Amino acid sequence: MLSNKGKYGLKALVHLAGLPAGQTALAAQIAEQNNISKKFLDAILNDLRNAGLVRSKKGPGGGYALARPAGEIMVGQAIRVLDGPLAPIGCASRTAYLPCDDCADVSTCSVRLMMLQARDAMAEVLDRASIADMREQAQTAGRAMVYDI
């Protein structure tokens, strides 16, 4: 399950993707517009900065911006930075494999085999979708709502 840290990080990235080229946003602005605690958002933005997904600038005109184009930042990458591996259990993880204590044979474990499929399905979706895709999807949904009225 996506944690609040992951969810708020994605919201912040989508917010930054909506900025005009060359502009930055203050953490306080992002927090207020997305209903996120500023203190929590500061920690999230720091993790995203350390991972090279956002950049920060201090001083007048400072704030946060995406470090790369939104189309190059994949949702799966951002989630892994903030929440860790996508796998629902350790023995199904590609990057943080951890065998179960109660498993006699990982190659035939029915739970592990199902969780491998779940991990692969999630990775297929999240590693193909970019932050730009998320932003566009929200904009398209917003336009559709206007026409439904």
Which CATH number characterizes residue 15's domain?
1.10.10.10
pTM of the prediction? Answer: 0.89
Q: Is residue 28 part of a domain?
A: yes
The SS3 of residue 55 is: strand
Q: Is residue 115 part of a domain?
A: no
Domain span including residue 49: 1-73
Q: Is residue 78 part of a domain?
A: no
Helices 4-17 and 75-83 cross at an angle (nearest 10°) of 140
Q: Domains in the chain: how many in total?
A: 1
The DSSP symbol for 64 reads: E
Task: Give yes or no for a contact between 26 and 33, defined as CB atoms under 8 angstroms apart.
Answer: no
> Is 145 a residue whose pLDDT tops 80?
no
- For residue range 26-69, list pLDDT tens digits in order: 999 999 999 999 999 999 999 999 999 999 988 887 899 999 99
